[in-house]
Amino acid sequence: MTFRKYLVLAGITVFSTLGDSLLARGMKELGGVSLHNFSGLLFAILNPWVSVGIVLLLAFFASYMSALSWADLTYVLPATSLSYVLVAVIARVRFHEQISPTRWLGIALIAAGVGFVAVGPAVSSAHHHAARPLPDHPEALSQEAKP
Amino acid sequence: MNDLYAWAAIALITLAATTGDVLLAYSMKRVGDVGEIWKTSGLLAVVGRILTTPTFFLGVLAMAVAFYSLLFGLSWGNLSLVVPASASLTFVANAIAARIFLHERVGRRRWIAALLVAAGVALMAV
Q: How confident is the model over A26-84, as pLDDT tens digits?
A: 877 776 655 566 666 677 778 898 899 999 989 998 999 999 999 999 889 888 888 87
Instruction: Decide if B68 and A106 are in contact by the 8 Å CB cutoff.
Output: no
- Nearest CA to A140 out of B102, B37, B29 is that of B37
- The one-letter code for the residue type at A132 is R
Minimum-distance CB partner of B98 among A27, A74, A81: A74
pLDDT (0 to 100) of residue A51: 92
Query: Given pLDDT bands bounded at 50, 70 and 90, which one contains residue A147?
Result: very low
Give the model confidence (pLDDT) of A92-114 as tens digits: 777 777 888 888 898 889 888 88
pLDDT (0 to 100) of residue A134: 41
Minimum-distance CB partner of A27 among B24, B74, B122: B74
pLDDT (0 to 100) of residue A36: 62
- For residues B1 and A13, the model is more confident at A13
Query: Given pLDDT bands bounded at 50, 70 and 90, which one contains residue B71?
Result: confident
User: What is the rounded distance in angstroms from the CA atom of residue A112 to the CA atom of residue A26?
Assistant: 32
Q: What are the boundaries of each domain within chain B?
A: 2-125
B77 reaches A (C-beta below 8 A): no
pLDDT (0 to 100) of residue A146: 40
Q: What are the boundaries of each domain within chain A?
A: 3-31+40-145
State the DSSP string of B1-32: -HHHHHHHHHHHHHHHHHHHHHHHHHHHHHH-
Instruction: Decide if B95 and A74 are in contact by the 8 Å CB cutoff.
Output: yes
- Nearest CA to B85 out of B5, B32, B11, B1 is that of B11
| Residue B81 pLDDT > 80 | no
pLDDT (0 to 100) of residue A139: 45
pLDDT (0 to 100) of residue A69: 93
pLDDT (0 to 100) of residue B25: 94
**Contact call for residues B18 and B93 (beta carbons, < 8 A):** yes
The whole-number average pLDDT for the span A12-29 is: 84
| Residue A115 pLDDT > 80 | yes
Residues of chain B neighbouring A65 (CB-CB closer than 8 A): 24, 28, 34, 50
Q: How many CB atoms lie within 10 A of CB A95?
A: 7
User: What is the rounded distance in angstroms from the CA atom of residue B12 to the CA atom of residue B30?
Assistant: 27
Q: Is the complex ipTM higher than 0.90?
A: no
pLDDT (0 to 100) of residue A35: 56
Instruction: Tell me the CB-side half-sphere exposure of residue A106, using CA atoms within 13 A.
Output: 26
Most confident of the ranges A1-10, B45-54, B74-83: B45-54
Instruction: Decide if B114 and A69 are in contact by the 8 Å CB cutoff.
Output: no
Sign (positive or negative) of CA dihedral A91, A63, B18, B8: positive
3-state secondary structure of A95: coil
User: What is the rounded distance in angstroms from the CA atom of residue B81 to the CA atom of residue B58?
Assistant: 28
